[in-house]
Amino acid sequence: MATGMFGAPSGHPKGTPHLGHAQPMPHDERTAILAELTPGHTIVEPAEQAAPFVFCSPHSGRNYPAVLRDSARLDSHTLRKSEDCFVDELYAGVAELGAPLIAARFPRAYLDVNREPYELDPELFGRKLPTYANAQSVRVAGGLGTIARIVADGEEIYHTPPTLPAALERIERLYRPFHADLAAMLERTLAKFGIAILIDCHSMPSAAMSQSVGNRPDFVIGDRFGSSCDQRLTRLVRERLSRLGYHVQLNRPYAGGFITEHYGRPQSGVHALQIEINRALYLDEQTLQTTSGFPRLKKDLKALCRHMFAEFSPPAIRRDAAE
């Protein structure tokens, strides 16, 4: 796969995909994106970036276009089971502290930017895929490719699946601009501070489907088993959250997805850490409404970020380099 600077997916595969029989042009898809999902993401910028951090919320989008609702066999509430509800709002305070936040407006059930650009599911499209597609990944096998076939609890999304041209329309008009802006933010951060730290922000159900007893921890910190960021950052986040009274696990069951793996290149000065939050801390998982725990969690996350910024601010970076 072609990549741009700092690992951003870039360019478009050459050649025309082999589609077999002719398919209609994705006019409905294009219309939906232009009318309901433009812009496809938001960026909240500080007045001046004061810390070498960039925050990313790829799964908190909650604008469900009519083209998805009309083709889905699931109701709107069930479609939201894959959504990282309100995670962008939990981290909204980072801009006040001096770091930018990028967040998708489209939902994960429509397009997942925490995947390779072309992790395409042959069960979903029902025809030969283009040669550049990755149809063999574990994520595709589980139904959670770039265009998901299921929601988080395993329910099939579509009664009328999207055509391949419609899927490519989503990727070109939403996926690529998201990653282009994320990569540019990291590039600017690296140029300014000599280091760039990406915090990939997610939430998880309070219990896995396969669990018969017990619940998940409050937080799961993912650093791709030590490969995506400086271990000092992993330890700092884990220790700080533990001091705030939370139960924290490392890398299990979430070590970090495509964004963490793809952008995390410590040898080049770009570090990436995924933070998964247990939804039971702030969300009623049946109604998908925030609970009384939301303000406390938001306050604690802001305190965590303030501590990270202090430890990885330019003076601290220079001090560590001199030691």
What are the boundaries of each domain within the chain? 38-59+80-107+168-205+216-322
In contact, 103 and 60? CB cutoff 8 Å: yes
**162 Cβ contact partners less than 8 Å away, ≥ 6 residues apart:** 26, 29, 71, 124, 125, 147, 170
Q: What is the pLDDT of residue 18?
A: 37
Q: What is the pLDDT of residue 153?
A: 80
Q: Is the Cα dihedral 8, 5, 132, 137 positive or negative?
A: negative
Residues 93, 88: Cα–Cα separation, whole Å? 10
Strands (E), 150-241: 196-204, 219-222
Full-model pTM: 0.91
Class of the CATH-defined domain 38-59+80-107+168-205+216-322: alpha beta
In contact, 97 and 313? CB cutoff 8 Å: no
Instruction: Provide the 10 A C-beta neighbour count for residue 45.
Output: 12
- What are the average pLDDT values for consecutive 10-residue runs of the chain, which has 323 residues? 52 43 62 96 96 98 96 95 97 97 98 98 87 94 96 91 95 98 98 96 83 75 97 97 98 97 97 98 96 98 97 67 48
Closest-CA residue to 4 (of 171, 185, 218): 185
Looking at the DSSP bridge assignments, the partners of residue 43 are 102
Residue type, 57: S
Q: What is the pLDDT of residue 176?
A: 98
Q: What is the pLDDT of residue 215?
A: 77
| Burial class, 317, CB count within 10 angstroms (exposed 0-12 / middle 13-18 / buried 19+) | middle
Q: What is the pLDDT of residue 28?
A: 87
Query: What radius of gyration, in Å, describes the C-alpha atoms of the chain?
Result: 20
Residues 166, 151: Cα–Cα separation, whole Å? 19
Q: What is the pLDDT of residue 292?
A: 98
Give every strand in the sheet of 196-204, ordered side by side. 41-44, 101-104, 53-57, 196-204, 270-278, 219-222, 248-250
Closest-CA residue to 113 (of 122, 104, 102): 104
